[in-house]
Structure 1
Amino acid sequence: MVETRNDSLPSIDLSLGDLDIGSLQIIRNEDLEELKELGSGTFGTVYYGKWRGTDVAIKRIKKSCFAGRSSEQERLTVEFWREAVILSKLHHPNVMAFYGVVQDGPDGTLATVTEFMVDGSLRHVLLRKDRHLDHRKRLIIAMDTAFGMEYLHSKNIVHFDLKCDNLLVNMKDSSRPICKVGDFGLSKIKRNTLVSGGVRGTLPWMAPELLNGGSKKVDVFSFGIVLWEILTREEPYANMHYGAIIGGIVNNTLRPVIPSDCDPEWRRLMEECWAPDPAVRPSFTEITNQLRVMSAAYQNKAHAHKPS
């Protein structure tokens, strides 16, 4: 998640001094219990644990993330704290809660502490064949995601890496799944790039205009791909070579194949979201309104089919 700012302004070399770290909760390492490793990547390792008895996800960031010349180390450190401050100020039921930062980890490493979602990523839930997601539940998950994204965009925050791996789910209530927008690791540090440091986002979900900057509408494009994932439970372009995917993105011609039995309204929304021209794509406010209408229509149909 990245806060957008006017790029025409000269970049100022900012020290930590001008950051409002006062709003940030600093969590002591001794107050955390690590119980289980959930996954690791280039940026570090994520654990399920407890913070004073509450379930949390603890992300330990590798020291190597802050490697490089001292000026680069300073820039990345400022970037980390700036993003932590932004994330700590976000409060929405469909955005994963950010609790705070650990400064005194092993070897002086940094960590972030966030809300723990019991079923992990939406990707994980979609891959589980024992979990039946009917049309109503798929609509709920899509709506939750859209509400979370609408809130982020209202705060001028562009996610840049929206996909099922970064959506977190709680299926405890079998009739009402809960989905929240998350992002494992702070985005600037763990960026998946085509060219080192050049392009944000992960290829199959990436809007073509990201190759030359991009706007809030890049998230709308990615949301269209997420709708396809929720529908098919598959990963886009799974059988294609990376080179062919890059070519399709550059030419702005690559889109996943929509199943023939797809609900017409769902199809229309997907196609609007991944329209080649960003200006034509709906905003998340328009998307949430469309999903509300789809949900109401589905409920009316379900009631009409119930035996009296």
Structure 2
Amino acid sequence: MPAEFASENDHRDFAGELEVLCKLGQHPNIINLIGACENRGYLYIAIEYAPYGNLLDFLRKSRVLETDPAFAKEHGTASTLTSQQLLQFAVDVATGMHYLSDKQFIHRDLAARNVLVGDNLVAKIADFGLSRGEEVYVKKTMGRLPVRWMAIESLNYSVYTSKSDVWSFGVLLWEIVSLGGTPYCGMTCAELYEKLPQGYRMEKPKNCDDEVYELMRQCWRDRPYERPPFSQISVQLSRMQEARKAYVNMALFENFTYAGIDATAEEA
């Protein structure tokens, strides 16, 4: 953001993100800090370059029925990405989140838009502007909230823990399987506040294996302590990948439709 348009809050968030990156150290599934300097009151941060941009856009660009229908029909596929590649994104993020949670960091804004795709399609967690280095964080001020990715306890009580990050990971896993669909597309935030505590959860995508959906459901359990830790999630996903089964079926079938996208809904 150009300095002349940056608010005091932007500067504070920027400095906060630098502090988090310094404390976290290096990891292959986190966007790593290269260096930082201050010049005439302006703060500059150099982080590693991710040539493929953010994961959300990358997933959406893979929707070949929309971007290259001839390719889709010729190869009988709905995506340029394979089940193995999609699972690898999930493994990468889970591994990075395991590292974060081990260091007792809470991300608080885990979503496909905040994951970057680096060389060799390695997924790297980014955007640590909301991260906190505490086991439990209670948000005391109201700002724009990523409601569609938030756990029940975060929505109701503004409480964030590693287990609320696990809930967000379940939504991110749904984003991966749906090739960048908008979570709860067609529902308002008010409906989510009402329906999630009543037990409503997103349905299983048609192309998703039961085992992957079951993992999502485990991430979305009401009680935080019943959700699996990231260590378990990364092991489970790695096992699936080693099994070489098509856990995410990208083959075209009759009446195939992609999950809906609502960019306006994603802003709230």
With a CA cutoff of 8 Å and minimum separation of 6, indicate the structure with the bigger relative contact order: 2
Contact 1:160-1:201 at 8 Å conserved across structures: no
Which residue of the partner structure matches residue 94 of structure 2? 146
- In the TM superposition, what is the alpha-carbon distance from 1:294 to its structure 2 partner? 0.8
Q: Distance in 2 between matches of 1:94 and 1:125?
A: 17
Q: Does 1:268 align with 2:214?
A: yes
Match of 1:197 in 2: 141
How far off its partner does 1:65 sit?
3.1
* TM-score where L is the length of structure 1: 0.64
The question of whether the paired residues in 1 share the 8 Å contact of 2:83 and 2:246 is answered with no
Match of 1:179 in 2: 123
Note if contact 2:150-2:164 (Cα within 8 Å) is conserved in structure 1. Answer: yes
In the TM superposition, residue 132 of structure 1 has moved relative to its aligned partner by: 1.4
Distance 1:269 1:182 in 2: 23
SS at match of 1:282: coil
Q: Do structure 1's residue 240 and structure 2's residue 187 form an aligned pair?
A: yes
Alignment partner of 1:122 out of 55, 58, 64: 55
| Number of equivalenced pairs | 222
CA distance in 2, matches of 1:266, 1:166: 21
Question: Does the alignment pair 1:92 with 2:27?
Answer: yes
Higher strand share goes to which structure?
Answer: 1
After superposition, the C-alpha distances for 1:236-257 in whole angstroms (9 at most, x for unaligned) are: 02222232233334x2534222
Q: Which residue, 85, 92, 115 being the options, matches 1:167?
A: 115
Equivalences for residues 56-95 of structure 1 within 5 A: 62-66=5-9, 77=12, 81=15, 83-89=17-23, 90-95=25-30
Sequence identity (%): 31
Preserved contact between residue 160 and residue 200 of structure 1 (Cα < 8 Å): no
* 1:101 alignment counterpart: 36
State the SS of the aligned residue for 1:110.
strand
Identify if the C-alpha distance between structure 1 residues 164 and 236 changes in structure 2 by more than 3 Å, giving closer, same or farther: same
Query: Which TM-score applies when normalising by structure 2?
Result: 0.73
Match of 1:259 in 2: 205
- In structure 2, the gaps of 5 or more residues are 65-78, 132-138, 248-268
Contact 2:114 2:126 (C-alpha < 8 Å) held by counterparts: yes
Q: Gaps (5+ residues) in structure 1?
A: 1-43, 46-59, 68-75, 189-194, 302-308
Aligned match of 1:297: 243
C-alpha separation in 1, matches of 2:225 and 2:144:
20
- In the other structure, the counterpart of 1:288 is 234
CA distance in 2, matches of 1:254, 1:100: 45
- 2:172 is matched with which residue? 226
Match in the other structure for 1:206: 150
